[in-house]
A and B are shown apart, each in its own frame.
Chain A
Amino acid sequence: MNNSVSFDLSQDGSPCRGTLSFSGGFVSAEIDGKEVFRRSVGDILELRQKTDIGCGRLEMAVRDTSVPAEEAPRALSDAENIPVCRFTMTYVNDISEFCKMVNHYIKTGEESQIVFTERLRCEKCGRAFVPGIDICMFCTDKGYVAKRTFALMRPYIPSVVLAGIFLLLSNLALAIAPVLYGQLVDNYLSPPAGFVPRFPAEQGIALLALTMVGASIVGQVCTIFSKRISNKIGSSFSNDLRILVYDKVQRLSLTSMSRKTAGDLIKRVTDDTQIVRRFLTDQGEFAISQSFMFLAIAGILFSISPLLTFIVFVPVPIAVYAISRFWHFMHLRFERQWVQNARSRSILHDIVRGIRVVKTFGNEEREIEKFDNANKRLAEISAKNEHTWAMVFPFLHFFVGMGEFFVILIGGKMVLEGQMTAGNLYTFILFLAYIYAPLRWMASLPRWLAELVTSLLKIFEISDERQSVAEAADPVDLDYDGDLAFCNVNFGYKSYEPVLKNVNLHIRQGEMIGLVGHSGAGKSTMINLIMRLYDPQGGSLRVGGTDIREADQSVLREHIGVVFQETVLFAGTVYDNIAYAKHSASPEEIIAAAKTANAHEFIMKLPDGYNTLVGENGHTLSGGERQRIAIARAVLKDPKILILDEATSALDSETESKIQEAIGRLIQNRTTVAIAHRLATLRHADRLVVLEKGEIAEVGTHKELLEKQGLYFNLVMAQRQTSKLRSDDQKALEEA
């Protein structure tokens, strides 16, 4: 049975190799094989994991034996806890699972096995996986990026090959020129003694000129075809990538979204896909055609002079080595440029989004300076990269083409000594331009590759990320009536920091539940779980008896309507924004929904009624008006479950009464879960659920809970006191 985990810090904070075990009702800890802790869990209430900064500690909470048996067991104060071990964040998840196993034993007396919910380390190298990615990036082979790119490009391969063939034909047609020049010299301008050309001189020269014109036309036509095909491939491929990334961004859990800035995500969807397109359009087909050209021309050169061909290729292996080293160096520099670019965008995004705050505090100059500094830094890094490139590239270029000088030196000598004709040397030298084109292109490859690989990795990082809220493989049909149950739900945004602890709550169809508690008590977390923005780590949420993880997410969300405190309006008309809940809604339905939401009246005052543009660059609506649009959306959706998250906060009393009236209509015959800061707005709820530190502390009606004089009573009294102070202040002001 697996009942031990590792830890890596001694009590004094020094690194160690420790093992924490649970066996026969005893928790024990060993460091380097020596037992340093052993204790029975007999008088222990639970194991508690505390997370600090960069580390954590495990403690035993001792049971308070003075609590009568009929009351719920309690722990002595934290000061009486028994320290067990310390650990770094590397082991925090393992220790969390250990805690769950031991606490399960303490509660039930059943021994169980530690369940590691996810693979955390690579079996091969032992390195930690990067959260959200299930492959070891360290052990992944070097061809990973190329393989992934080719896999994505598979549908385009026939088109790429076709574009490459056209470009090859174009290059071959243009490459006939050196052969013709050679013939011009050897046959007509400076023929060897005794040589009789096939055609008379004038006719032969005209024929050569005509062939050159024909070859040039064929070459240019092929270039046009090739460019057209490659541009099409580039656009379609980048479009596919953009959709892939955008689609994944839409599906990412809120946890992973919160780890990335808006600027970062926008850059991945737009710029990175653009860089891939540019590479494909500008470099992809060139690479294919030049590879063939390289082989063909190398063959021609070899047939003219093996010695000179050898001289041309001597610097190549050294250049390839230098290029590969330089690539690594450039890659890091381009990564730096990428990060700074994303930072600048994030600053810009923040400023634009918060422009009202910036202006209110008169911080325009400061923000300009901030953006200016970020841009200067970006310009600095870009300039440095360009500078490095400008310094190294000509050198590489020169080095790769160094063979040309030796060709002239040795080839010229060979012509003078009669080992080679002047025409052949001329042809050879002209062909060098064709052979050096791919070689010099290779010298410029580090820059392209550095930029490309940086962008591809950013794209793959998103596309490879595991969805933490996974879609059911075989979703069950959800025949939902509005019944909702939390069954032993345990959840934490970080699995080792529980936010909800063992929550059990059955909400009946059509019931209105008010969630009450201090901030951080777990109210919003409960509604996040209902919407399945996250999945619980323990227990389940059941709708109509079905675990929501077994249902199709989109089907589940069809049954849920939400009115948030802040309503986001998308760029579009009022009509579009209401129809966001049901795209197929008819104008009658939209207007009826707006009337139910008390929104129709203000919409009709807008210049273009329901066709008025709102959102970005559109008409500005007040908070109350936005809220009514949100309610209209919810009405239109006609959900079985309605979630009201501070729907009426921050509104003036007149607006609030209109919204309350609309909400009153909306909640009829629907299961409603509401959070409201102002407790008075929840007094008519069928039941109030009071949360305290992630646990349900009280459940009852407003009246019952007031009579109980518990937590809810205290919250109400505190709020009344605040209101009284406010109204006293108001009176004093009025009297003054």
Chain B
Amino acid sequence: MSETTTAVQTGALTNIGFLELEKCEFYRNPNGFLCLRYEGEEHNRVQALRSLPLTQPDAFLCIQDMENQEIGILETLTTLPEGMAELVQEELERRYYCPGITDITSIKEKMGFYYFDVSIGGFKKTFSVKDLGKSIKELRRGGILITDVDGNRYLIPDLAKITPRCARQIEPYLY
């Protein structure tokens, strides 16, 4: 990140357009949508997008209006004042839905497709996965991201922290 910042400062690259935190005010409108007041200008409903969703989910957050025009980039979520950080975090969680798998009941292979029976919180969920090499990604810090044939995503936040039985179930399928 420091390299990029240096490049921006020296003008070697286009200015990345970081939002100045002291000029940002995130709030919700009566319909529950995230809005931004920035440099006195009202942006009535904005969306927050992750630039690096897999590697740095809480940094380089792109704030756009509903016409997909970029207002600016939030360098990190943590530097926002507490209440506002929560609002942006909620918006991110709403946009990037990736429930955590709490238990793996079984993984069955049938005709080249893999059928997962898992628990998400208290809910049982069954989904199927094809092309293991593409659909199961190992993330940094021991996480596993699984994408099913419909495009749903599921997360095992830390392989080291799930039960040994679950780990044994998933390990043969990690490429």
Contacts and interface: CB of A to CB of B under 8 A. Distances in A.
Q: Do A and B bind each other?
A: yes
Interface string B117-131: 000110101111011
Nearest to A130: B149
B164 interface: no
A365 interface: no
B94 interface: yes
Contacts of A625: none
B133 A339 contact: yes
B115 to A, nearest CB: 6
Interface stretch (A75-83, A534-542, A667-675): A75-83
B175 A339 contact: yes
Contacts of A461: 112
A458 B153 contact: no
Contacts of A357: none
Nearest to A259: B131
A385 interface: no
Interface residues of B, number: 43
Contact of B96 (A53, A77, A131): A53
A339 B152 contact: no
A332 B149 contact: no
A52 B45 contact: no
B17 interface: no
A501 interface: no
Interface residues of A, number: 46
B66 A77 contact: yes
Interface string B30-54: 0111010000000011000000010
Contacts of B29: 79
A335 B94 contact: no
Nearest to B46: A79
A83 B32 contact: yes
A92 B98 CA distance: 16
B99 to A, nearest CB: 7
Nearest to B151: A89
B27 to A, nearest CB: 12
Interface stretch (A7-15, A248-256, A584-592): A7-15
A128 B128 contact: yes
B91 to A, nearest CB: 10
B111 A343 contact: no
A89 B153 CA distance: 9
Nearest to A453: B112
Contacts of A457: 111-112
Interface of A: 9, 11, 13-15, 52-55, 57, 77-83, 86, 88-90, 92, 126-128, 130-131, 137-138, 140, 144-145, 328, 331-332, 335-336, 339-340, 342-343, 454, 457-458, 460-461
Given A54-B98, A127-B115, 8 more contacts: A13-B93, A53-B95, A78-B45, A79-B45, A89-B148, A128-B128, A128-B150, A339-B132
13 contacts: A13-B94, A14-B121, A52-B95, A79-B33, A80-B31, A81-B33, A127-B115, A128-B148, A131-B149, A137-B110, A137-B112, A328-B109, A339-B133
